[in-house]
A and B are shown apart, each in its own frame.
Chain A
Amino acid sequence: MNKKIKEAFQNGKAFIPFITAGDPSLEITEKLVYAMEAAGADLIEIGIPFSDPTAEGPVIQEANIRALSNGITTDDVFHMVEKIRKNSEIPLVFMTYANVVFSYGTERFIKRAAEIGMDGLILPDVPYEEKEEFDVVCRKYGLDFISLIAPTSHERIRMVAKEAQGFVYCVSSLGVTGTRSEITTDVDSMVKLVKEVGDIPVAVGFGISNPETAKKMAEVSDGAIVGSAIVKLCAKYGEDCVEPVGEFVREMKLAIG
């Protein structure tokens, strides 16, 4: 297990923000990482843009399109992380789609990610059944391949949790990423099922957009993941998003304690 990811969960409940690299620009993405770290983020998910992100709602889909229209490539994102690592040791994981990794060459991608100081990888279109081709390589280079569980997983939760690395990403709701007015899933029971199998942190994501929901989700788990609400701020403020995003992260971290 990656040491830094483990540490991310040792500072109270973890707050895990997501941003799409290159939206609005890689310079701003770099600044966002520093600002979110300063505001109390424990681990940051960096999205490598993909043309057809099938697990995302409209907000993150549009961020992907904006980043790709800026001409952002996987190599550009790697360069940005190299720069970040000169200034920050915050745990970082990539969030992207299987084809971005596969087309780069799975081993080449993961090796490079490890070299530049990444700590984990999340591929929402790679379930338990397909994880081996990525997981084995991740283990080789010391990256955690993050497993997801969903409200429909039921008896699969134990199976997934047993082999999970780093932390378990608990998808709070049906559907794609994006803000929701409420979360109706019994997240508590899902987390308990994971804990029955092993001592691995569980962070809850999908549909968390305000301090109240974040607090509620963190109470029954080890942390909260927030994407769309932050990406919305990036879309709204563009080049000026660093301050409002930092403020939002501070508020969220404060709420979950």
Chain B
Amino acid sequence: MSKGRFGKHGGQYIPETLMNAVIELEEAYDKYKNDPEFNAELTEMLNEYAGRPSRLYYAERMTKDLGGAKVYLKREDLNHTGAHKINNVIGQMLLAKRMGKTRVIAETGAGQHGVATATVAAMMGMECEIFMGKEDIERQALNVYRMKLLGAKVHSVTSGTGTLKDAVSETMREWTNRIDDTHYVLGSVMGPHPFPTIVRDFQAVISKEIKEQMLEKEGRLPDVVMACVGGGSNAIGTFYNFIEDENVRLIGCEAAGRGIHTNETAATINVGKLGIFHGMKSYFCQDEYGQIAPVYSISAGLDYPGIGPEHADLYDKGRAEYVAITDDEAVDAFEYLSKTEGIIPAIESSHAVAYAKKIVPTLPKDQIVVVTISGRGDKDVAAIARYRGEDLYE
């Protein structure tokens, strides 16, 4: 069996042209992951540049309103660039610099990963090119301009459905074209080994902090931690340090789009089957002949037909639960958190908030639920306004 397996998932299903690149990356990561100097620089940047640790906020009004378990919000939206994506980007860029790379490329869906990559590239003086689906460029115009402002070149990807999966395909194609000086900053816990492991390790800071903060505030572990799942990076970050704590429920919230019984959905665990795509074996939304499905979600960041291999394995083992949240439920939750707590969550994160709204009232008052707010929702305001029938200029 090849490297980078999570149960039967994972692996390195990529063109031969890229094999030495991922091997080089794996070797660099193995060399630096326990290097004190590397880790000191990483922590320094996470703290001083990205603004970590992010707050674990007790959502008192939401708790009272839902009338069940106590709700805490892990505020990844407060990070510099407004999402959890920067945790992974800083880690990978420090690695890329040590590998002697001068140029980075990345895919982006909602634009959050693209913005984070462009930001750190600007700060480190590296050349940066972002690949974004044509459809998403229209949905997330504000983030496109932010990336340009940060000095990145943004490529519009017109192939396929013009969304996240096509942006990943196109970034992979570009990587095969120029490898020597270029690192692919993959934005989620997906793709070929070692990406799912590297990205997970850099995002694991989320659960490391939740654990410390929860012990400090409540003197015990939470009963439930939950997060939204597209590829699954903020969710694995939220889960990782609790995987061994078997009394902590892990819940991933997928995008059901218009519903898991329609064709317009992106809920991979709920409707997908085992397959091989984008470098990994995992679950994918696909037809009976293995053609990847043109998935749909209101959220550009969750609009992806696959899920990271470690999530697929956590699901197989029954260690984590994966639920599906529709567009309507997510939009309601977007508005709910804005009005109840004065926090405008990203539409991606709103999927987790929506499930919290469902589950919290059913749980006893002495239980504690942590919901990761993976990003802030400023980027989504215009789209939500349009969803509600208001024509808003961005």
Are A and B subunits of one complex? yes
A55 to B172, CA, bound (A): 8
A52 at the interface (CB under 8 A from B): yes
A185 to chain B, nearest CB (A): 11
Contact A55 B12 (CB under 8 A): no
Contact A99 B276 (CB under 8 A): yes
A50 at the interface (CB under 8 A from B): yes
Binds B, one of A29-37, A168-176, A216-224, A232-240: A168-176
A102 to B14, CA, bound (A): 15
Write the chain A residue with the least CB distance to B17: A150
B277 at the interface (CB under 8 A from A): yes
A126 to B276, CA, bound (A): 10
A153 to B14, CA, bound (A): 13
B15 at the interface (CB under 8 A from A): yes
A98 at the interface (CB under 8 A from B): yes
Binds A, one of B111-119, B239-247, B289-297: B289-297
A104 to B274, CA, bound (A): 11
Contact B16 A149 (CB under 8 A): yes
Contact B286 A124 (CB under 8 A): no
**How many residues of A are counted as interface, with CB atoms below 8 angstroms from the partner's CB atoms?**
40
**How many residues of B are counted as interface, with CB atoms below 8 angstroms from the partner's CB atoms?**
39
Which residues of B have CB within 8 Å of A129?
2-3, 11-12, 19
Which residues of A have CB within 8 Å of B363?
none
User: A146-187 toward B: CB 8 Å interface, digit per residue (1/0)?
Assistant: 001111111010001000000000010011100000000000
Contact A127 B14 (CB under 8 A): yes
* In the complex with contacts A51-B291, A102-B275, A102-B276, A148-B173 CB distance below 8 A: no
A127 to chain B, nearest CB (A): 5
Contact B176 A127 (CB under 8 A): no
B389 to chain A, nearest CB (A): 34
B330 to chain A, nearest CB (A): 26
Which residues of B have CB within 8 Å of A68?
291
Which residues of B have CB within 8 Å of A61?
159
B177 at the interface (CB under 8 A from A): yes
Contact A152 B17 (CB under 8 A): yes
Contact A154 B20 (CB under 8 A): yes
Contact A99 B16 (CB under 8 A): no
B102 at the interface (CB under 8 A from A): no
Which listed residue (A50, A52, A128) contacts B16, Cβ 8 A?
A128
Contact B290 A127 (CB under 8 A): no
Most chain A CB within a 10 A radius of its CB, from B166, B173, B279:
B173
User: B10-44 toward A: CB 8 Å interface, digit per residue (1/0)?
Assistant: 01111111111100000000000000000000000
Write the chain B residue with the least CB distance to A73: B289
Which residues of B have CB within 8 Å of A151?
17
* In the complex with contacts A127-B19, A128-B19, A150-B16, A54-B291 CB distance below 8 A: no
Which listed residue (B17, B165, B278) contacts A174, Cβ 8 A?
B17
A2 at the interface (CB under 8 A from B): no
Which residues of B have CB within 8 Å of A102?
274-276, 281, 290
Listed in ascending order, the chain B residues whose CB lies under 8 Å from chain A are 2-3, 11-21, 159-160, 165-166, 169, 172-173, 176-179, 273-279, 281, 284, 286, 288-292
